[in-house]
A and B are shown apart, each in its own frame.
Chain A
Amino acid sequence: MVVEVETLEKRFNGKIAVSSVSFEVKEGDIFVLVGPNGAGKTTTLRCLCGEIAPDSGRVRVFGSSPFRVKDRIAVLEESRTTLSKLKPSQYEELWQLLYPRWSSRLFRDLILHFKVDEEKPVSSFSAGMRTLFFLSLTLASGAGLLLLDEPTQGIDVEKKTEMLSIFKELEGRTVVISTHQLDEVEWVADSFAIISEGRTVYADSLAHAKETHRVTRPSELSDEDRVLFSFDDGTVLVETRRDIGRYPSFVEIGTAYLKRSAKLSLI
């Protein structure tokens, strides 16, 4: 496993940000961390890249503490904070000092492809252009693990598809994407974890999740099916081994588990 997270807990000023997050990511997988805003996705990624330390639980990256393998991890940070007044080539100068497998060729190709203006400071870029620029840095780092916080934020549909295709084509590199836009990442996800209010509510491979869940009519149910959620159109998402109804989409699985978790926490 490239990433192992076990009952991760993190508090800020006594307030719980993450209370029990657990999941594993296999080498080469595109893993999606799903959850609403404030669920604890960004905090989890910050612990994964060694920016902050967990209060309890266990986080291992490439079998070590993240602090020991920071040069094998590249991050697309959620806030897209920039270094004042620096231009793309100056970022390149800095980034290549820290990443032993930095590829200037790939960086040049990407910024050319995304039409990044090299004459302007990055701080003057639009939100979408900043995302594409930082993504270029992340990809060119040569790091084996890419942690991407809301990578589709502010990007037009065409570029989003292009970008997700690039992730799909990466060989031997593991990608963790944090997002609340399930529909956008379904076609690239290999595995996922759904987190809500700082806890993992479900983690699985997408193929296995689809294999073990169905969307069906209540009339088709038997005692061995476990009803997880009722949709507005009268259908239900069930956990079952029987071949009934139809396969659920990633959006349906995510929505069902998140809404179910919200309902349970209210009881």
Chain B
Amino acid sequence: MSERALKLSWIEFTLKRNFLERPGRFFAMFLLFLIPSQPWRALVSLFLFSSLLPRDVENGEDRLVLSLPVRRWQLFLGDFAAGAAVLLVSGLLVSAVSGSGVGVEPLRWLGAMAFVYGLSVVFVSIGKGNFGLPLLIVVIDLILSATPWKLLSPSYVGSPLALVIDGAVFALAMLSYEKEGRLWS
């Protein structure tokens, strides 16, 4: 195996592991993401992403993978890539079939995915669980998105500024996981 291939093997490992371990979950979320509504898709994203790395961290099940030649940031990105790939294909399929065109929609989906994943990782890092509080925050954010807040809303993603917030939460979560949650203590 070439050095370059070996350096990238963690991507294949994390994708393959996710699809072998959780096929039912990915398929269910693929179907649910077919419904074309940004608030709905943000919630579906939360259901999926909180059940990947954040749930493993909650149950101490990330330790097996971390004992292998996979680093924390690689596991973080790999799990995100697996979830994002499935949901993006689902969303793009709907756009293709309906002939509506995609425009900037995939960016909005990705932004919301990055936000809910980051939120779940941050909360689990501080011992507050992977799902309950992130769900509360996303629901409040989506309710507020009926107001001008939608421009900043990280789940609704009504403007490029919201994408910046999504990116910041994602980066913060990755740093937090890399530092074993110590960013907050």
A264 within 8 A of B: no
| A84: B residues at CB distance < 8 A | 21-22
> How many Å from the CB of A33 to the closest CB on chain B?
16
A92-103 CB contact bits vs B (8 Å, 1 = yes)? 011101111000
Q: Which of B40-48, B66-74, B83-91, B158-166 contacts A (4 or more CB under 8 A)?
A: B66-74
Q: Is B150 an interface residue (CB 8 A)?
A: no
Residues of B contacting A85 in the complex (Cβ-Cβ under 8 angstroms): 21
CB distance from B107 to the nearest CB of A (A): 31
Contact string against A for B residues 32-72, beta-carbon threshold 8 Å, 1 for contact and 0 otherwise:
00000000000000000000000000001101101111110
Instruction: Find out whether the CB atom of B13 lies under 8 angstroms from the CB atom of A50.
Output: no
Between A50, A67, A73, A81, the greatest number of chain B beta carbons within 10 A of the residue's beta carbon is seen for A81
Contacts of A82 in B (CB 8 A): 64
Closest to B178 in A: A53
B159 to chain A, nearest CB (A): 38
A194 interface hit (Cβ, 8 Å):
no
User: In the bound complex, do residue A51 and residue B20 qualify as a contact, i.e. CB atoms below 8 Å apart?
Assistant: no
Chain B residues closer than 8 Å to A94, beta-carbon distance? 13, 16-17, 20
How far, in whole Å, are A82 and B61 apart by their CA atoms in the complex?
8
Query: Please, how many residues of chain A have a CB less than 8 angstroms from a CB on the other chain?
Result: 29
Interface size, B (range): 20 to 34
A90 within 8 A of B: yes
**Chain B residues, CB < 8 A from A18:** none
Q: How far is the CB of A92 from chain B (nearest CB, A)?
A: 12
A194 to chain B, nearest CB (A): 24
Choose among B6, B10, B13, B67 the residue that contacts A100 (Cβ–Cβ < 8 A).
B6
Residue of B nearest to A70 (CB): B69
B177 CB to nearest chain A CB (Å): 12
Q: Is B104 an interface residue (CB 8 A)?
A: no
Task: Known A77-B63, A85-B21, A100-B6; judge A70-B185 contact (CB<8 A).
Answer: no
Q: Which residues of A contact B61 (CB under 8 A)?
A: 81
Report which of A13, A46, A73, A98 forms a contact with B10, defined as CB distance below 8 A: A98
Chain A residues with CB under 8 Å of B22's CB are 84
Verify if A170 is at the interface (C-beta below 8 Å from B). Answer: no
Bound state CA distance, A36 and B110, in angstroms? Answer: 49
Q: Which one of A13, A52, A71, A79 contacts B69 once the chains associate, using CB atoms below 8 Å?
A: A71
Report, nearest first, the 7 A-B pairs whose CB atoms are least far apart.
Answer: A70-B69, A75-B67, A71-B69, A81-B64, A51-B66, A98-B69, A97-B13
9 residue pairs bridging A and B, Cβ less than 8 Å apart: A14-B185, A53-B180, A67-B71, A81-B64, A82-B64, A86-B20, A86-B21, A93-B20, A95-B68
Where the two chains meet, the residues of A that have a C-beta atom closer than 8 Å to any C-beta of B are 13-14, 46, 49-53, 67, 70-71, 73, 75, 77, 79, 81-86, 90, 93-95, 97-100
